[in-house]
Structure 1
Amino acid sequence: MKTLKFKMTTAALALTVVACGGGSAAPKAAQPAAKKATPAASAETPKEAVIESSVTYTYNPVGKRDPFRSPLEELDRSQQNVQVTACSEPLCAWDLDQLKLVAVVTGDANPIAMVEDPAGRGHIVRRNARMGRQGGRVTQILRDSVTVTEYIPTEGKVIPNPVSLQLKQDSKRDPAYDLMQGRNWGE
């Protein structure tokens, strides 16, 4: 049994020396030392197994949720923030049904719209602008409408309520009106 262990250890040591580039002379010299080197060879193996990598990973917690905090706490905080924030902008003085969409400019990365209040004053509106008594935010501006999303807090959750303001077509202008002559085509 001892000779089998000796032969296996010698063969393993010879293969490692050859694999490391020791050449053919090294296994012959390593055979007498194999009896003494068996404990040392097993101690050197973990050192050789350590592989160093040139890539280091760094953790960036920006924008990530704290994994040790309950998601229910974050939901409660967001409800408190929605309830506490009051709208102090001029368009928050009126309900959304009192406001009238007058004009829309699209075709740009930041479309804008003009909203008229009941007093007849025009207000320029962009995305994320606040308007309405509920403090809704403008979420979408299309070529003929503006969508305002109001967030209504209820028990346990916040319900989004999208409201659309439509652009009214001008009914005074006749489509057959000649601008050069100042009269309709049929006259």
Structure 2
Amino acid sequence: MRRKKLERERVWRKRLKAFRGLRGSRIILLAISAVFLFLVSHCGGGTPPPPVVPKAKTPVAEKKKAEPVQVAEKKEVAKKEEPEFSYNPAGKADPFKPFIQLAPEKLPKSAFLTPLQKYDISQLKLVAIIMLPEGNVALVEDQQGRGYFLKRGTAIGRRDGKVKSILKDRVIIEEAFSDVFGQAKMNEISLFLHRPEEGGES
């Protein structure tokens, strides 16, 4: 009786072990299947994310870029419309030159200068006029009081002046000068025997 009882206990123990082994394998299979389903649902089974659409450029930026081009085109049109101005100075007087141009000091052509040609006419003083049938003669003095006789054609002054005529009260001298156009002109200078500011009869 005791042996039978021991054998029964052994049989039950074997069955329990087998049942426990089957139960553990089922639990493992269920866990593996759950993990597999989780991976499939999150990796490939879900819906794909929506595609990223690039933002369209705002029309304000395009307008800002287009505006400088329009301004440049307007400037080019304005430059083309401006008339070209050109000044031709040929035959016209120089506006920067004075109307009255002093003649440069013109030296006599001859190499030998007389004492009268070394003085400016304003430095000479008419002191006497002698009336003669063959021609009048005048007497002038320099600043040092030295006297010189003049007759018609006598060279006098630093600008190649010449005595044109000797009258009873004055001596008329001609000097050459250049006008604003560069043309040669003759200037008359009179030396009076009695200067107007000093009074006396002329």
Do both proteins adopt the same fold according to a TM-score greater than 0.5, normalized to the shorter chain? no
Q: Look at both structures and tell me which one has the larger radius of gyration over its CA atoms.
A: 2
Q: TM-score, normalised by structure 2?
A: 0.40
Q: TM-score, normalised by structure 1?
A: 0.43
